[in-house]
Amino acid sequence: MANVIRGRGTIKRTTNKDGETVERQSSIYLASHQQWYPCLPTDNHFVYKTKNIGVSTMCTCGSASVVVGYGQYKKWSSWIGNEVLVCQSLVQYGRHADGSS
């Protein structure tokens, strides 16, 4: 079961399951790709950079996040870049890990 961070409306800051305060950012730098990626803007959850080894970005719903191209994110947003960071659960199942969309 995913560890869910709950919020209502467009949240800008929250506390993750490790007790760390995380903030919404418009883009995140991935050292592994040596590039900045815009984050898909969603209302109730957002992608943030973690301090964990392994997964470097997560969604506040508890799912990992991934870099995808326009073909994958076009149903949630108009074109914002060739590739964006987005919640993996949202891309795969059409909803966040907590069941919201």
CA-closest candidate to residue 66, choices 99, 98, 28, 23: 28
Is there a domain that residue 1 lies in?
Answer: no
Please report whether residue 68 resides in a domain: yes
The band of 11, judged by pLDDT with boundaries at 50, 70 and 90, is confident
Q: Please check whether residue 10 lies inside any domain of the structure.
A: no
Q: Cβ distance 86 to 40 under 8 Å?
A: yes
1 pLDDT exceeds 70?
A: no
Flag whether 61 is in a domain.
yes
Span 27-37, average pLDDT = 92
Q: What is the mean pLDDT of the chain?
A: 85
One-letter identity of residue 66: V
Q: Which tens digits make up the pLDDT trace of 57-81?
A: 999 998 999 999 998 888 887 778 8
Structural domain including 57 reads 18-93
Q: Note whether 39 and 47 are within 8 A (CB).
A: yes
How large a percentage of the chain has pLDDT more than 90? Answer: 44
> What is the pLDDT, as a whole number, of residue 31?
87
The end-to-end CA distance of the chain, in Å, is 18
Angle, CA 79 vertex, CA 68 and CA 85 arms, to 5°:
30
Please give the tally of structural domains in the chain: 1
Of the candidates 44, 26, 7, 18, the one whose C-alpha atom is nearest the C-alpha of residue 85 is 26
In a domain, 9, yes or no: no
Residue 60: CA count within 13 A, CB half-sphere: 30
- Tell whether 7 is covered by a domain: no
60 and 22 Cβ atoms separated by less than 8 Å: yes
